[in-house]
Every structure is written in C-alpha cells, then in structure tokens.
C-alpha cells in the first residue's frame, strides 16, 4: 500500500501546486488592474487640473480686459462684485490679450 500513499501524496502536491499557480495568476491580474486604475486616475487628475488652470486663466484675462476697457480696476471690480484687491490679485496672472486672441483664432482654424 505504500505505492498508493505515494501516488495520493503526489496527486495532492500537484493539486496544491495548481491552486498556488491559479492564486498567483489572480493576484498578478488584480495588481495589474490596480496599477492601471492608478494611472487612469492620475491622468484624469492632470486633465482636470489643466481644465481648471485654463478656466482660471480665462477669468483672469477677461477681468483684466474689463479693467482695461473700464479704465479702472475699481469700476471693473464693482461691476463684477469683487473687491479691488481681489480683482488685482486675479488679474496679475492674466496673459496678454494678443496671446488670447491668437490662441482663439488658432483654435478656430484661422490665423491671427
């Protein structure tokens, strides 16, 4: 009967090895999924940050343009319902109007 016991032990060892390999494959797939999800989240966060920065830049540019059009930061701030200090803080980051017009026209397919 020693042969049957060895055969049974070998069968159990093979089954255990198969379970180990299957569990290893599942763990590797799960880790790959996590890594992919992290990369996707990071890319999404970067895109969101870029959109927010672009929107902030547009606000700053529009506020600066309003202040130039009004000829006064005080008047522009009053129109917007902001304090003059807030308007000046925001418009410090504004790009030049020519750069915006050029970017807008390039986006529309025309030349500045």
**pTM greater than the 0.75 cutoff:** no
Residue 85 has which token pair?
């200090």
Question: Any residues with CB less than 8 A from the CB of 105 and at least 6 apart, and which?
Answer: 111, 112
Please classify residue 47 by burial: count the beta carbons closer than 10 Å to its beta carbon, then call 0-12 exposed, 13-18 middle and 19+ buried.
Answer: exposed
Residue 75 has pLDDT above 90, yes or no: yes
Residue 65 has pLDDT above 50, yes or no: yes
- Residue 76: pLDDT band (50, 70, 90) is very high
Q: What is the pLDDT of residue 3?
A: 80
Query: How many helices (H) and strands (E) in the chain?
Result: 4, 0
Q: Is there a domain that residue 112 lies in?
A: no
List the domain range (segments joined by +) for residue 12.
Answer: 2-107
If one counts the domains in the chain, the total is 1
Q: Is there a domain that residue 56 lies in?
A: yes
Q: Is the dihedral of CA 45, 48, 53, 54 positive or negative?
A: positive
Q: Is there a domain that residue 53 lies in?
A: yes
Q: Average pLDDT, whole number, for the chain? A: 86
- Residue 29: pLDDT band (50, 70, 90) is very high
Residue 84 has pLDDT above 90, yes or no: yes
Closest CA to 97 of 70, 60, 71, 72: 60
* pLDDT tens-place string over residues 40-58: 999 999 999 999 999 999 9
Q: What is the pLDDT of residue 103?
A: 45
Q: Is there a domain that residue 21 lies in?
A: yes
């Amino acid at each position: 009967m020693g042969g049957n016991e060895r055969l049974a032990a070998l069968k159990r060892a093979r089954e255990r090895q198969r379970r180990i390999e299957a569990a290893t494959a599942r763990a590797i797939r799960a880790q790959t999924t996590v890594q992919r999800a992290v990369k996707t989240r990071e890319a999404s966060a970067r895109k969101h940050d870029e959109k927010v920065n672009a929107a902030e830049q547009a606000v700053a540019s529009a506020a600066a343009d309003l202040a130039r059009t009004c000829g006064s930061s005080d008047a522009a701030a009053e129109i917007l319902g902001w304090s003059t200090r807030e308007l000046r803080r925001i418009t410090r980051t504004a790009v030049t109007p020519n750069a915006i017009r050029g970017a807008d026209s390039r986006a529309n397919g025309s030349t500045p």
